[in-house]
Amino acid sequence: MTETVLDVLMYLFETYVDADEEPEPDRAELRMELERAGFGDREIDRALEWLDGLNSDERPHPSAPTDCALRIFDARELSRLDAGCRGYILYLEQVGILSGGQRELLIDRLLALDAVDIDIDHIKWVVLMVLFSQPGQETAYARMEDLVFAEGPGAIH
């Protein structure tokens, strides 16, 4: 199988985002659901670790960037996020979908994916997951959902 961690995460997200069940099924339930869906143990383990990182309080929390702060990408980020990806992330922040702190969480979670090449579609899905995991982000989530499910690529201004 050639599934990636993002494939597993997208499956979970699409399965549970609109479910009327308990919002957070336990780890054993998730594992069984993913095994039934045909995902391999390695991808399941990595996806569950990724989700733990999304909700982790152990990640360093930099002070909230101010409106006039300039984001400088380090060498590791530059090697994984091309200019188009970096521009799209900054665009999402400029239009108010992401805050500076959410941008940092997004970058952290993107780098935690096993994808060799991260593209804008990856970013869109991870942004949805980040926003969904945080209370009070319904408006930003709805705006991002519109971008994800828009028919054409659309122009970024």
Q: What is the pLDDT of residues 85-99, one digit of tens each?
A: 999 999 999 999 999
Domain boundaries, the chain: 1-58, 63-157
- Tell whether the model's pLDDT for residue 46 goes beyond 70: yes
Half-sphere exposure of 87 (CA within 13 A, CB side): 6
CB 6 within 8 A of CB 109: no
CB 60 within 8 A of CB 108: no
At residue 54 the predicted structure's pLDDT band, cuts being 50, 70 and 90, is confident
Amino acid identity, position 119: D
Contacts of 123 (CB under 8 A, 6+ apart): 85, 88, 89, 92, 106, 110
How many residues does the structure list for the chain? 157
**Which DSSP letter does residue 64 get?**
P
At residue 157 the predicted structure's pLDDT band, cuts being 50, 70 and 90, is very low
Q: Hey, what are 102's tokens? A: 């959410």
At residue 52 the predicted structure's pLDDT band, cuts being 50, 70 and 90, is confident
pTM, full prediction:
0.82
pLDDT tens digit sequence for 14-30: 887 766 555 567 888 88
